[in-house]
Amino acid sequence: MTPGQRLSVTVNGTERGLAGTDPATNALDWLRGQGLTGAKEGCAEGECGACAVLVARPDGGSGTEWTAVNACLVPAASLDGQEVVTAEGLGTPDHLHPVQHEMAVRGGSQCGYCTPGFVCSMAAEYYRADRQDDTARVGSDAHESGPNGFRLGALSGNLCRCTGYRPIRDAAFALASPAADDVLALRRSDAPRPPVGTRLSGDTGTYARAADLDEALDLLTDHPDAVVVAGSTDWGVDVSLRGARARFVIGIDRLPELRRVEVGDDAVEIGAALTLTELERELAGRIPLLDQVFPQFASRLIRNGATLGGNVGTASPIGDLPPALLALEAVVVLASPDGDRQVPLADYWTGYRQSVRRPDELIRAVRIPLPLSPTTAFHKIAKRRYDDISSVAVAVALDVVDGSVRRARIGLGGVAATPVRALATEAALEGRAWTTSTVQAAAEVMRGEGTPLDDHRASAAYRSAVLGTSLLRVLADEQPERRVDA
């Protein structure tokens, strides 16, 4: 931030200052404090989407994508210098936005509490640049999108308690393309505003956004107790629900050095601050195992904020990417003022929520070695299809050559204090014929992997049982003629 520059967010086209805002204040509370009470607090933990707003984010090229995020999770200070649109900015009672109009005329709103959030998520999909009419849609997931190309997954982070989802779906599927003079559609052609350095101090502490990696590392050296925050989908829950406060927060979500995908001959290096949504777009199917993870990871709203680095950095035993990255034999690239060091992911976590990362280090990237194993699978067992943390996650990457398993890599989540490799199961597969009997024997070994616990998500016995069926499912999916009774 240059001296004298005032901290502000452009909301619905009007610049609003952040002066006097506490750094722990989330964007939802800040917007509502500004009188913009359309966005609501339902859960304050990213589950309901009542707080959704649109933020102008890079579209992967030179333009802007209107991206819906959970305002209850992101610090207001992290939006300094950015453009936000709320439900109030989409339309007015006299001039409804097409999304608001369709929701109204098709009965998509009853009490209305969830509606501004639905409208923002729906508007993000309305403005998706590659949304195209698709009247000939076919296949088992054809019901997941409308004839107008609207993907219902865009609403996976929004809950409604009273209307029922059919009228909301009808509204979504009735949307045409934006008009030629639609201001928000036209805005997409220009780049979003570049990230700015930010420093906001208040009673609870300071929020600082560095302009580049070197400055972020200097800040980390000066403030070894600082909390590093990227998408804030974990940290934001701690702040909103558990009263967590940090004397110093370093926002790293827009650091250019952490937002690249580099494809080399021997590895794909993925920047830690790319969101899951951006990752899916940037990788464009290059890593099929990750493509299986993306749609099962939380909701679109969360994936629009959640980063790869945050999923590894939070060191949770039940994150979705870690098992997949373990199966891919990923390596963590840690940056510090001394330069980069690389740590195999399998050696990264040292205990529950603990890792080898030093206080002066950031996760800069994750490297995935090439070539990739051709047979991959990701099984997430959770109570809900969308927007739920896994009870157990299993990721498998196999090289089957001439009918035998040359290499097996299996990552597990939810069965130990950290994500783990299923080393005994890998050994039970490698060098053996890829047959039902091998897989049945290996499945028994897998049943005993890890040290699963009973908790509110699942019992230890259930977790072990799930482990015992996963490989059989891989075989059945690979070779349907060898379907076995699990």
Ligand X SMILES: Cc1cc2nc3c(=O)[nH]c(=O)nc-3n(C[C@H](O)[C@H](O)[C@H](O)COP(=O)(O)OP(=O)(O)OC[C@H]3O[C@@H](n4cnc5c(N)ncnc54)[C@H](O)[C@@H]3O)c2cc1C
Residue 225 phi, psi dihedral angles, 5° rounding: -90, 5
Structure tokens at 425: 């199961």
d(CA 249, CA 173): 41
CB of residue 167 vs ligand FES: minimum separation in angstroms?
10
Instruction: Please tell me whether residue 43 binds ligand FES under the rule CB under 6 A.
Output: yes
Those residues with Cβ within 8 angstroms of residue 348's Cβ, 6 or more apart along the chain or in another chain: 312, 332, 355, 356, 357
Q: Which of 341, 307, 311, 305 is nearest to 325 (CA)?
A: 311
Among 8, 12, 42, 372, binds ligand FES (CB under 6 A): 42
Site string for ligand FES, 163-182 (x = CB under 6 A): x-------------------
The stretch near ligand X (CB under 6 A) out of 304-312, 427-435, 454-462, 471-479 is 304-312
Q: Please tell me whether residue 89 binds ligand FES under the rule CB under 6 A.
A: no
450 binds, among ligand X, ligand FES, none (CB under 5 to 8 A by kind): none
Query: DSSP secondary structure string, 353-369?
Result: TEES--TT-EEEEEEEE
Question: Residue 119 — φ and ψ, nearest 5°?
Answer: -60, -40
When asked if residue 323 is in the footprint of ligand X (CB under 6 A), the reply is no
Output the CA–CA distances (angstroms, integers) from residue 404 to 360, 436, 486, in the order listed.
Answer: 45, 12, 21
Give the one residue of 30, 118, 127, 235 binding ligand X; rule: CB under 6 A.
235
- Give the CA distances from residue 207 to residues 80, 199, 223, 451, 465, in Å, rounded to whole numbers and listed in that order: 11, 6, 12, 39, 45
Position 110 contacts ligand FES (CB under 6 A): yes
Residue choice 160, 293, 324, 330 for contact with ligand FES (CB under 6 A): 160
Contact string 253-282 vs ligand X (x = CB under 6 A): -------------------x----------
Per DSSP, the three-state class of 290 is helix
Distance, in Å, from the CA atom of 89 to the CA atom of 99, rounded to the nearest integer, reads 12
Least distance to ligand FES, CB of residue 342, Å: 36
Binder of ligand X out of 311, 391, 425, 438 (CB under 6 A): 311
Nearer to ligand X by Cβ, of 303 and 421: the residue is 303
d(C-alpha 106, C-alpha 20), whole Å: 42
* Pick 18 or 237: Cβ nearer ligand FES: 237
If you ran DSSP here, which 8-state letter would residue 386 be given? S
352-371: contacts with ligand X (CB under 6 A) = 362-363
Opening angle at CA 49, ends 48 and 50, nearest 5: 95
Which of the stretches 15-23, 108-116, 174-182, 227-235 binds ligand X when contact is defined by CB under 6 A? 227-235
- Closest to 461 (Cα-Cα) out of 452, 469, 470: 452
Burial bucket for residue 97 (CB in 10 Å: 0-12, 13-18, 19+): buried
Residue whose CB is less far from ligand X, 244 or 401: 244
Nearer to ligand X, 56 or 159 (CB): 159
Q: Does 381 bind ligand X (CB under 6 A)?
A: no
Among 36, 52, 230, 324, binds ligand X (CB under 6 A): 230
Count residues near ligand FES (CB under 6 A). Answer: 23
Interacting residue with ligand X among 50, 52, 306, 377 (CB under 6 A): 306
Interface residue with ligand FES, options 22, 47, 59, 387 (CB under 6 A): 47
Pairing of strands 52-58, 64-70: antiparallel
Residue with tokens 């939006």: 79
Cα separation of 446 and 460, whole Å? 14
Decide: helix, strand or coil at residue 376: strand
d(CA 464, CA 446): 8
Give, as ranges, the residues between 55 and 74 that touch ligand FES (CB under 6 A).
70, 72
Restricted to residues 44-63, the positions that interact with ligand X (CB under 6 A) are 45-47
389 binds, among ligand FES, ligand X, none (CB under 5 to 8 A by kind): ligand X
Among ligand X, ligand FES, none, the one that 298 touches (CB under a kind-dependent 5 to 8 A) is ligand X
What is the side-by-side order of every strand in the sheet holding 404-413?
375-381, 392-401, 404-413, 420-421
Q: How far is CA 445 from the centre of its chain?
A: 32
Q: Is 419 in the site for ligand FES (CB under 6 A)?
A: no
With binding defined as CB under 6 A, does residue 51 bind ligand FES? yes
CB of 44 or CB of 325, closer to ligand FES? 44
Output the smallest distance, CB 59 to ligand X, in A: 20
Tell whether residue 304 is a contact of ligand FES (CB under 6 A).
no
Contacts of 1 (CB under 8 A, 6+ apart): 7, 196, 197, 198, 199
Nearer to ligand X, 276 or 443 (CB): 276
What is the nearest approach in angstroms of ligand X to the Cβ of residue 237? 5
CA–CA separation, 61 vs 151, rounded Å? 22
Which of ligand FES, ligand X, none interacts with 162 (beta carbon under 5 to 8 A by kind)? ligand FES
Return residues touching ligand FES (CB under 6 A): 41-44, 46-51, 70, 72, 109-115, 160-163
Return residues touching ligand X (CB under 6 A): 45-47, 227-235, 237, 252, 272, 297-298, 302, 305-307, 309-311, 313-314, 319-320, 362-363, 387, 389
